[in-house]
Copies of this chain bind each other. A is one copy, B any other.
């Protein structure tokens, strides 16, 4: 049997053989949640005209010099400028015009006084203090100057980025494309989710499960269906997966079955990268290169396949999406239950992470941990990491924890460097 690879090495091999990131120009709305692949420059300034920041009165500031509460300046009111209805003419010296928030400051005017500060009389608008130049005026380019780099490559596109790009008239943006991940379930025992399994059969729950993992991680699942445990059927299914950036399979990788996926890859001339990683659950995981494209064979066991995905596939998708953090977020937690056994493999115990009254993350690992049990994965929001050759550990021991996205806990500290696994 091949020696087991350490998780870090398997992860590094996958990243080393990652396909190139694809850059797509997407409509703004479709770019939400993706990462910008190029710097974006402003084709025009924002605001594009001197804009009033208040509802008030546009003035020539010099007309208000010397105004006081006792001796106000009164300027005849010559009109109104709602937003979107600019004045064609210059504001004549010694006059004022009402202006709404967002209205274009007329030529000649250089300031706006808020309507709450003036008194409107039959003679005009009475102003009781000098209005400094540019008061309540956003000059052209105050927000963004023409040609300015407004967003840099690597920036996550969030709603505020969409608002800004839309304001600049940019309708398509270059982003790292969602990786297309082919998903093939293998196994003679599998029937579709909508079918009634016969004796010895189970439903292909890994198909929808893996698709959801891919989608939640930002990828685009491409369903390749179910392949029976016959090498050339698998080979054909894999061969038909053009257009995918990478492939994942489930099943066919345990000791007696590995040959099925391995042989299919061999038939197609794939190069094997690794088989079996020093993690539990999910030990029987393999990876190969098929025409230069990554194929990752995950355990057929749902709980183990999910763990394999989180530890090996997720960092790869994060990389392809141009994200800064690769993989689940790490923290430090305190075990509620002891770890009784010492094993050579690094264990990833399903855990419910929660904050105790001490503010620390506590880890309830009391649910069933057997790889064949899927249901208790639904009670978990994290993995407690028990390093290989470590243990037994008492309740209260500090361990590394990997938090799923929905784990809504305060994180008092990152894992200390002595906890590397």
A interface vs B, CB < 8 Å?
A: 28-29, 32-33, 46-49, 51, 53-55, 82-86, 100-104, 115-116, 138, 142-144, 150-151, 155-156, 158-164, 166-169, 171, 187-190, 193-194, 196-197, 199-213, 215-216, 229, 254-257, 300-302, 306, 324-325, 329, 331, 359, 370-375, 377-378, 380, 404, 406, 408, 410-414
Contacts and interface: CB of A to CB of B under 8 A. Distances in A.
Given A159-B212, A160-B377, A410-B412, 14 more contacts: A46-B375, A53-B371, A55-B257, A83-B200, A84-B201, A159-B216, A160-B302, A163-B205, A163-B212, A163-B374, A169-B196, A171-B193, A359-B413, A412-B412
Contacts of A325: 408
B51 A372 contact: yes
Given A162-B212, A188-B85, A229-B82, A378 B410 contact: no
A355 to B, nearest CB: 8
Contacts of A211: 29
Contacts of A404: 158
A301 B55 CA distance: 13
Given A169-B203, A193-B171, A216-B158, A377 B412 contact: no
Contact of A143 (B190, B331, B375): B375
Nearest to A152: B378
Nearest to A408: B325
Contacts of A142: 370, 372-373
Contacts of A49: 199-200
Contacts of A257: 55, 83, 100-101
A146 to B, nearest CB: 13
Nearest to A53: B372
Contacts of A189: 83-85, 102-103
Given A101-B257, A203-B169, A82 B143 contact: no
A150 B32 contact: no
A102 B299 CA distance: 12
B167 A205 contact: yes
A158 B406 contact: yes
Contact of A48 (B143, B166, B197): B197
Contacts of A377: 160, 163-164
Nearest to A223: B29
